[in-house]
Chains A and B, each alone.
Chain A
Amino acid sequence: MLVLVAVLGAAALVALAVGPVAIAPAELWRVLAGGADPVTRAIVLDVRAPRVALAVLVGASLGLSGGVLQGALRNPLAEPYLLGVSGGAAVGAVVVVSMGGTDPSLLALAAFGGGLAAVVVVIWVARASGFQADARVLLMAGVVVGAFANAVIMVLLAGAPAEAARGALWWMMGSLGAAEWRDVARLGLVLALAGPLLLHWARDLDALALGHDAAAALGVSPERAGRQLYLVASLLAAGTVAAAGLVGFVGLLVPHVARALAGARHRAILAVSSIAGATLVVGADLAARTVRAPSELPLGAVTAVIGVPFFLSLLRRMR
């Protein structure tokens, strides 16, 4: 665990130092200690630091959310973006974009609202399916709501001006390019509320992973615990979408890495998952803005390009 935190810290420092203007380690240290010249200070603290901080929060949130959803739904493919949240959030944002809205706060709010609406629909369907509402219903409802959202997005974009469509597309590929301290504060608040709650419920996840009857035998009300976990994990994911667009793959990949590193207990899995997720997104964002500088690569694509080979090698080694 300490090693993971150290790796994350190192990645964050590298991300602060590297960019169009390279900053030497000694200079970086002076900035962090409160010294250095105003230009360097501005580059580090106003441009790069919010971006790195938001990368940490987005990665940690997605890792945490994915770990919770995989456990609660008993499915190794579950991840926030598969389960309707991202689709709903994207619809919210695209509606604003296609109506000509550009205010980042409005966009974030619409995305969060869209994600929330998708979660509410999924839970409503799962509840209506009766007393035995189980993980499969949540999963299927989520996937279908996601597919519906994608259809809505296509309809909206088909009629939208090219500029709006391009903006929406960029947003759907995920980016931290517009990160400001305001975004960091917003997502930080969401994570500060959801994180401890999810870690507290992590023990229920251990029981839920055995199936509903077995979870009940271990003292967990499976439907209620499942819905609570789904709700909070999804809202956390909606928060990341609002902050950075769709950063795919982190929520799917990172929990599997965490499981390989941390064993079977979900409290440990979730902790490792959030740290590893943060590290991945910090690294991916660094790559996104430096590989083809001065233009940027979409963050969601970079996480996939880094993540897929890694994930496949993990699958190969899995017994």
Chain B
Amino acid sequence: MIAWDRVTIAYPGAARPAVEGVSLGAARGALTAVVGPNGSGKSTLVRALLRRVPTRAGCVRVEGADVTGLSQRDLATRVAVVVQREEPAFPMRAIEYVALGRAPHAGAWGGDARGAHAVREAAAMAGVEDLLERRTDELSGGEWQRIRLARAIAQECNAIVLDEPTTFLDIAHEMAAFELLAGLARRGRAVLAVSHQLNLVSRFADRVVLLHRGTVAADGTPDEVMRASVLEAVYQWPLVVSRDPAVGAPTLVPLRRPTHHP
């Protein structure tokens, strides 16, 4: 569905490429998670998908088509992306924001037969119906995240990509968000989430891609990727991986560094 094929991206003036020769895919019907330390290139891959950074080598394909050959609008009808940060320059009602997800589908002068229905449906799925009349500048960080998720669902694409969708969410909303993403995947969409929440990822994702300094350090099922030796090397921090008592998914426990008294 979405495939990054040996992608190399270098920002102007940077000493090394932000990502180098990265290949990964997000298949339909699966929740794919991209994890890795800060600066490992996760968001750069998302921005390359949106054509916000040029690739030096390789390409990003959506449904087989190179994104650089698609119009920006075509791309937005195939993949719904929730970028890491966005803020309306002028506050609007939440429902108006969610309805922006319909923009790629609207006719030249705004005709969109499914629009209102899709917006209500997306709001129901994301559990934000009670927030729709609120102003975007009055939402909490977590409410805003959920509204943004609703916007992406309203876009009704076969693929959905989210850059850190659970930032600012409490435990219950974090779980609910991942349940929702897994549910979208079960219903046949390709779902890709960039996340720092390794323990959630290991419970929900079908596939985990671990990035390290712009390259793929590990790629496989949560069991294959969530190994202490791999994670310790990438995150440069002592940790143990155990099993969560409820469902037996691998669970990461970072350790405190022993204090040295020289």
Contact = CB atoms under 8 A, between A and B. Distances in A.
Contacts of A130: 12
B93 A264 contact: yes
A71 B89 CA distance: 8
A207 interface: yes
A131 to B, nearest CB: 7
A206 B90 contact: no
Contacts of A319: 135, 137-138
Interface residues of B, number: 42
Nearest to B91: A264
A217 B82 contact: yes
Contacts of B108: 200
Greatest chain B CB density within 10 A among A70, A218, A263, A319 is at: A218
A66 B199 CA distance: 49
A70 B89 CA distance: 9
A309 B50 CA distance: 44
A51 interface: no
Interface stretch (A24-32, A54-62, A208-216, A244-252): A208-216
A131 B51 CA distance: 11
Greatest chain A CB density within 10 A among B12, B52, B82 is at: B52
B95 to A, nearest CB: 10
Greatest chain B CB density within 10 A among A76, A209, A211, A264 is at: A264
A217 B96 contact: no
A219 interface: yes
Interface stretch (B26-34, B70-78, B184-192, B251-259): B70-78
B100 A218 contact: yes
Given A220-B72, A265-B96, A267-B110, A214 B104 contact: no
A127 interface: no
A209 B88 CA distance: 6
A219 B103 contact: yes
Chain A interface size, as a band, is 20 to 34
Interface string A76-98: 10000000000000000000000
A307 B74 CA distance: 43
Interface string B48-59: 001111100000
A41 interface: no
A186 interface: no
A206 B87 contact: no
A216 B51 contact: yes
B83 A214 contact: yes
Given A203-B106, A209-B88, A221-B72, A216 B52 contact: yes
B250 interface: no
Contacts of B84: 213
Nearest to A221: B72
Contacts of B137: 319
Contacts of A221: 72
A216 B54 contact: no
A211 B110 contact: no
A272 to B, nearest CB: 14
B101 interface: yes
Contacts of B35: none
Nearest to B93: A264
B101 A213 contact: no
Contacts of B170: none
A74 B90 CA distance: 8
B80 A217 contact: yes
Greatest chain A CB density within 10 A among B50, B75, B82, B138 is at: B50
A214 B47 CA distance: 10
A131 B13 CA distance: 13
A211 B90 contact: no
B87 A210 contact: yes
A308 to B, nearest CB: 21
B86 interface: yes
Given A70-B90, A76-B89, 15 more contacts: A75-B89, A130-B12, A131-B53, A209-B89, A209-B90, A210-B87, A210-B88, A211-B87, A211-B89, A213-B52, A218-B103, A264-B90, A264-B91, A264-B96, A265-B96
14 contacts: A70-B89, A70-B90, A210-B87, A212-B52, A213-B47, A213-B83, A214-B83, A217-B82, A219-B73, A219-B103, A220-B72, A220-B73, A319-B137, A319-B138
